[in-house]
Each structure stands twice: as structure tokens, then as C-alpha cells.
Amino acid sequence: MIQLLLFCIAICAGIYGAISGNLVSLITATIATLLAANNLFGRLAYQQESQQMLAANVKRYRWLILTISAIFLASLATRQFLQDPFDFTSGYLWLAGLLVIVIAGILHDRQLKQSESLPQNGEDGKASPRMPIFDRLDWLIVGAITGVALALRLYRLNDFLPTMHGDEGEMGMLALLALHGPTSGISPMPLPLFTTAFLDHPTLFHYFQAGAMWLFGESLTGLRTLSAIFGALCVPVVYGIGRIGWGRVAGIAAGWLLAISHLHIQYSRIALNNIETVWFMAFFILMLLLAAERTCRVQTLAVDGNTQRGQLIGPLVPYIWAGLAMGFSQYFYYGSRFCCFYW
């Protein structure tokens, strides 16, 4: 009952804090969530923990503490952006929250891996090593196919179309604004991170384009290179989906057909935000398959001479990457909204 009450308090305080920007409400939501998730009140009611026990619990639940910290950082980012959309502090807080949530997942999976000390199908009661999903041959094959895909998408990229497409020009101007700010002469204000601009497309995409132009030059080729790279990176993701689901032959077939697909090459050579959505959606599916493959592994335990079947608890990291992929995809093309609704 106390846990339910704490969760209700956390939800209400978090919503109010994010909308109003009230820092006290955000802190209240964070503390209430931490107490409810850890069931601190319930444990203190039945036992008096020593300092050693408390320290052990802190180490055990440090991934949970980091998760709550990530939620708090995201709330602060929302509050900061609502107060001033042109202040990039919200972006730094947002990135810090993403980094913290990934670290929390890694710590959770590391602890889970350490706890798997029971024997599984090995000799002399020792745990048998797990075979990796992708071996060296897989990496060599997917590397070669990806290289072909990238070459096809970069070939004569500057003169791919007779002239620059109008949408490419609009997005290219916003990319220059993201790269140079007000000194670009496009706008007296910098481009906000978390808003919409041309045809209501999210502006974060233009910062990715700005990064590509910073690396490859402020030209049509530099602007289009981001799409070419994302298009080529679809190959290893699709290969992984086929490899996990149906085997190496299926992975090779899927990766190669995508690499030479004229439709995929077409959208990989235009400086628009279509192909990035495809990559994020495919990566989302790959992470779900990877999580399911690891979670559904069943180990056979030898206990007192009897054979029992125990299901392993799945790792969190693939689910975290899946969630981040779906979240990031919302900052690109409209199709991501349909994909998110479908899943």
C-alpha cells in the first residue's frame, strides 16, 4: 500500500514538475520513485539493517539509483527547454540522462552475469561457455557487404540529381544554421534542439546534418553523406536480424539484397530524413530479437541429481537500446510516429 502511494506521488509530482518547471516537484518525484522501487519502508519495518548490509544494498541497487538519476536529468532537461528553447543546457542534460541510463543497464547486466554461477550442461558441474551469436566470419561477411553498400551510395554523390532538391535545400540551410548559429546570417537566433522547423520536421536532425558537413565539407556531398552512411549501416542491422532469426544464409541474403536495392540506394543518396528512420526502426527490431534470444535461453541445472529447467532473467541493455532507438527515431521523419504507434 505504501509503495502504491509513493508511485502515485511520484507520477503526480513528476508530471507537475515537468510542465511547470518546479524543481522541488521534480526532486520529490525522484525520491518517491526511488523509495517505492526499493521498498525501503517495507524492509525497515521488519529488520534493522547494519551499515554493511546497507552498503551491500546500495551496491546491489546502484543501477536502479542511476536509472532514477537519468529520469531526474530528463525532467531537468524538459524544464530547462520549456523555460528557454534557445539555451543548450537542456541538450547537455538530455545527453547526460541518456548516458546514465546506458551505464545503469550495463551495471545491471554485469551484476546479472555475476549471479549466474549455477552449472549449465558442463562437465564436473562447471558452467559451459555460451557460443557467441556472431563469430569472426559473420563480422567479415557483414563488413564486406557494408563496404559495397557504402560505395554504391557514395558514387558520384554530388551530381546524383541534376539540381539540389528543394527539400534538400531547406534542410541544408537549417543545417548551416545549426553549424554556425546566428553568424550564418540565416537567422538572428540559434536553431533550437527540441522543436520543429521546415514542414514541422524536428530540428535535432539538422544538427546531425551539421555534424556531417563539419566532417565532410559544406557542400552538397557533405550534406548528403549522412544519408549515405545511415543507408549503408542498414546492412549490418538487417544482416543481424536475418542471422538471429534464420541463420547465416538468411543474413547474407537479406544484407546483400538491401545493399543493392535501387529503392534503398535512392533514399540513401538524398539529404532528407527518410533513411534515418529506416535505420532506427531496423535497429529497434534487432535489439528486441537480441533481447528475446538472450532471455529465452534455458539452462539445465543439476540439483541433487535431479534435472530441473530454469529460465534466465534477460539483460536490460538490449531493451535500453531498443527504447533509445524508438525515442531517437521520433526526431527524424514522420514515418517514425507510425512505427512507434504500431509497436
Which of 152-161, 301-310, 315-324 shows the lowest mean pLDDT across its residues?
A: 301-310
Please say if the pLDDT value at position 148 is more than 90. yes
Q: For 211-264, how does the pLDDT look when each residue is reduced to its tens digit (9 = 90+)? A: 999 999 998 899 999 999 999 999 999 999 999 989 999 999 999 999 999 999
Percent of the chain with pLDDT strictly greater than 90 = 39
Q: What pLDDT, on a 0 to 100 scale, did the predictor assign at position 341?
A: 56
301 — phi, psi (to 5°)?
Answer: -105, 135
Per-residue pLDDT at 190 exceeds 60: yes
Gap between the Cα atoms of 276 and 155, Å rounded: 19
Write out pLDDT tens, residues 4-21. Answer: 677 678 777 777 776 666
| Cβ-based neighbours of 210, under 8 Å, separated by 6 or more | 175, 176, 178, 179
Q: Which helix (H) or strand (E) holds 68?
A: helix 62-83
Query: Looking at residue 116, what is its pLDDT?
Result: 53
Nearest to 3 by CA among 31, 32, 30: 32
Residue 298 has pLDDT above 50, yes or no: no
Provide Rg for the chain, Cα atoms. 24
d(CA 120, CA 130): 10
Higher pLDDT, 157 or 335: 157
Q: What are the percentages of helix, strand and coil residues in the chain, rounded to 5?
A: 70, 5, 25
Residue 301 has pLDDT above 70, yes or no: no
Count of all residues that appear for the chain in the document: 343
Structural domain spans, the chain = 2-116, 137-342
Residue 51 pLDDT exceeds 70: no
- pLDDT tier for residue 332 given thresholds of 50, 70 and 90: confident
Q: What is residue 54's predicted lDDT score, i.e. its pLDDT? A: 46
Average pLDDT across the chain, whole number: 79
**pLDDT top residue among 125 and 69:** 69
Range scoring the smallest mean pLDDT among 46-55, 164-173, 244-253, 256-265? 46-55
CA distance 18 to 210: 29
Give the residue among 30, 134, 120, 146 at the shortest CA–CA distance from 79.
30
